[in-house]
């Protein structure tokens, strides 16, 4: 295994473009090292991007949006109070991944590029409308988070491409987000179901919403029917039931060691309701 620690994304991209065999980028490494150790994936080329300037930065932009470096860790995000005030759902989703120790290393970008349908931060990012900059041999392009994963363990990134920055939109007024997942224990598990909700209100009425589901299909889903179920409502019981039904209907899960099809389908609806209520309360400026 070759190990490189380039000083720029262009250099990293060139290294990857010219590499043969299996290439992996190393950010937090919390997935790459597990796969390496279990000999599931032994890369021929490992490119550590943490020596690139600014990769751990968390910057707020003039328009209220946020730009995160690809090696900013979960712990860095949790300690950033302003980011947490704007996007508590995204920060909490990231914070749910693994232990305190894993938080010291794990990153949004790594969670995304690992391609797991159960990745906790991804539904939250999709709900929030997060985009990423992809740097490749032909320069940079902006891609919506939901367009990165293409299936379990697979992404739309081409050879030589890597994510070089994460962009979270401006929160704006009267907005709130939330992410909830189901795990059998209180910590340390992979999501059996995950739901991210981001919404905006006009008074008591939901005017915008994005609802995303994790671990219920080969990729994280952005479910329009869920959004439709609550837009125009004050999140009354009828709309919440419609939201739950839409969430369950969107599920296309598998039976596996972590949960059954029936369980995932049912719980997706339960969590969608609960997450929507939290996001709604946050949008109203209430504690949730």
Partner 1 sequence: MSKFHVSTTVNGDAVDYLCDPRETLLDCLRDKLNLTGAKEGCGTGDCGACSVTVDGRLVCSCLMLGVEADGKQIETVEGIAEGDVLHPLQKKFIEHAALQCGICTPGILVAAKSLLEKNPNPTEEEARYWLAGNLCRCTGYDKIIRAVMETAEELREAS
Partner 2 sequence: MALDDRKTQFTFVGTRPDRPDGLDKVTGRAKFGADVSAPGMLHGAILRSPHAHARIVKIDTSQAEAHKDVKAVVTRADFAEVPFKPGLEGEFWNVLENVMAGEKALYDGHAVAAVAATSALAARDALKLIEVEYEVLPHVTDVDKAMEPDAPVLREGAADYSVPEGMHPNVVRYHESGHGDVEAGFAEADLIIEDSFVTEATHQGYIEPHACLGMLGNDGKGELWCTTQGHWIAQKTCAALLGIETSQLRVTASEIGGGFGGKTTVFIEPVALALSRKANRPVKLVMTRSEVFRATGPTSSASMDIKIGMKKDGTISAAQGVFRLQGGAFPGAPGDMTAMCAFAPYNLTNVSQIGYDVMANRPKQAAYRAPGAPMGAFAVESVIDELCKKLGLDPIEVRLKNAAHEGTKASYGPTYERIGLVETLEAAKAHPHYSAPLKPGQGRGISCGFWFNHGGETSVSLALSEDGSAQLMVGTPDIGGSRASMALMAAEVLGIPYENIRVTVADTATLGYNDVSHGSRVTYASGLATIKAAKHAVEKLCERAAASWGIPADAVKWENGCAVPSGPNAGDFDPRPLADITAHMGQTGGPISGHFEATPEGAGVSFGTHIVDAEVDPETGKTAITRYTVIQDAGKAIHPTYVEGQYQGGAAQGIGWALNEEYIYGEDGRLQNSIFLDYRIPVASDLPMIDTVIVEVPNPGHPFGVRGVGETGIVPPLAAIANAVSHAAGVRMKQLPMSPPRILAALKDNG
Q: Is residue 73 close enough to count as binding partner 1 by CB under 8 A?
A: yes
Site string for partner 1, 173-202 (x = CB under 8 A): -------------xxx--------------
Q: Is residue 11 close enough to count as binding partner 2 by CB under 8 A?
A: no
Which residue in 140, 147, 189, 225 binds partner 2 (CB under 8 A)? 189
Q: Among partner 2, partner 1, none, what does residue 257 contact (CB within 5–8 Å per kind)? A: partner 2
From the CB of residue 133, how many other CB atoms can be counted at a distance below 10 Å?
A: 17
Q: Among partner 2, partner 1, none, what does residue 123 contact (CB within 5–8 Å per kind)? A: none
Nearer to partner 2, 30 or 131 (CB): 30
Contacts of 222 (CB under 8 A, 6+ apart): 126, 127, 146, 210, 211, 212
Which residue in 34, 41, 144, 158 binds partner 1 (CB under 8 A)? 34
Site for partner 2 in 163-182 (CB under 8 A): 182
Nearer to partner 2, 97 or 122 (CB): 97
Handedness of CA 243, 186, 191, 32 (dihedral sign): positive
Instruction: Please answer whether residues 144 and 168 qualify as being in contact, where contact means their C-beta atoms are separated by less than 8 angstroms.
Output: no
From the CB of residue 208, how many other CB atoms can be counted at a distance below 10 Å?
A: 16
Q: Among partner 1, partner 2, none, what does residue 158 contact (CB within 5–8 Å per kind)? A: none
Q: Among partner 1, partner 2, none, what does residue 267 contact (CB within 5–8 Å per kind)? A: partner 2
Which residue in 98, 149, 160, 196 binds partner 1 (CB under 8 A)? 98
Helix, strand, coil shares of the chain, percent, nearest 5, are 35, 25, 40
Q: Is residue 187 close enough to count as binding partner 2 by CB under 8 A?
A: yes
Which residue in 18, 100, 150, 252 binds partner 1 (CB under 8 A)? 100
Site string for partner 2, 26-45 (x = CB under 8 A): -----------xxx------
Instruction: Please answer whether residues 76 and 109 qualify as being in contact, where contact means their C-beta atoms are separated by less than 8 angstroms.
Output: no
Q: Hey, is 16 helix, strand or coil?
A: helix
Among all chains, which residue has been given the structure tokens 């279990």? 38
Nearer to partner 2, 158 or 238 (CB): 238
Q: Whole-angstrom Cα distance, residue 204 to residue 164? A: 38
Kindly state the DSSP code that residue 73 receives in the 8-state scheme: B
Among all chains, which residue has been given the structure tokens 């992809």? 134
> In Å, what is the CA distance from 276 to each residue of 163, 217, 230, 233, 237?
30, 20, 9, 12, 12
Token code pair at residue 41: 């994936």
From the CB of residue 266, how many other CB atoms can be counted at a distance below 10 Å?
A: 16
Write down the least CB distance from residue 98 to partner 2, Å: 9
Report the interface residues with partner 2, using CB under 8 A. Answer: 37-39, 182, 184-190, 192, 256-260, 262-263, 266-267, 270
Site for partner 1, rule CB under 8 A: 1-3, 26, 28-30, 33-34, 36-38, 42, 46, 48, 50, 73, 75, 98-102, 104-105, 186-188
């Amino acid at each position: 295994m070759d190990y490189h620690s380039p000083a720029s994304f262009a250099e990293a991209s060139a290294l990857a473009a010219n590499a043969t065999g299996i290439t992996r980028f190393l950010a937090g490494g919390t997935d790459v090292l597990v796969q390496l150790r279990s000999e599931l994936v032994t890369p021929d080329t490992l490119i550590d991007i943490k020596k690139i300037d600014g990769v751990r930065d968390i910057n707020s932009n003039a328009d209220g949006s946020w730009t995160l470096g690809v090696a900013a860790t979960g712990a860095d995000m949790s300690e950033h109070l302003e980011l947490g005030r704007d996007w508590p759902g995204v920060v909490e989703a990231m914070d749910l991944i693994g232990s305190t120790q894993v938080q010291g290393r794990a990153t949004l970008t790594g969670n995304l590029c690992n391609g797991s349908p159960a990745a906790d931060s991804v539904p939250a990012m999709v709900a929030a409308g997060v985009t990423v900059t992809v740097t490749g041999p032909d320069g940079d392009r902006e891609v919506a988070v939901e367009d990165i994963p293409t299936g379990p363990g697979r992404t739309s990134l081409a050879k030589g491409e890597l994510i070089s920055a994460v962009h979270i939109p401006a929160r704006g007024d009267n907005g709130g987000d939330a992410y909830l997942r189901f795990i059998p224990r209180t910590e340390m598990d992979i999501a059996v179901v995950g739901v991210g909700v981001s919404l905006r209100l006009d008074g008591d009425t939901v005017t915008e919403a994005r609802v995303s589901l994790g671990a219920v299909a080969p990729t994280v889903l952005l479910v329009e029917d869920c959004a439709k179920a609550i837009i125009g409502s004050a999140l009354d019981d009828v709309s919440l039931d419609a939201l739950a039904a839409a969430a369950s209907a969107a599920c296309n899960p598998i039976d596996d060691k972590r949960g059954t099809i029936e369980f995932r389908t049912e719980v997706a609806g339960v969590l969608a309701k609960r997450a929507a209520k939290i996001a709604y309360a946050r949008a109203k400026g209430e504690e949730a």
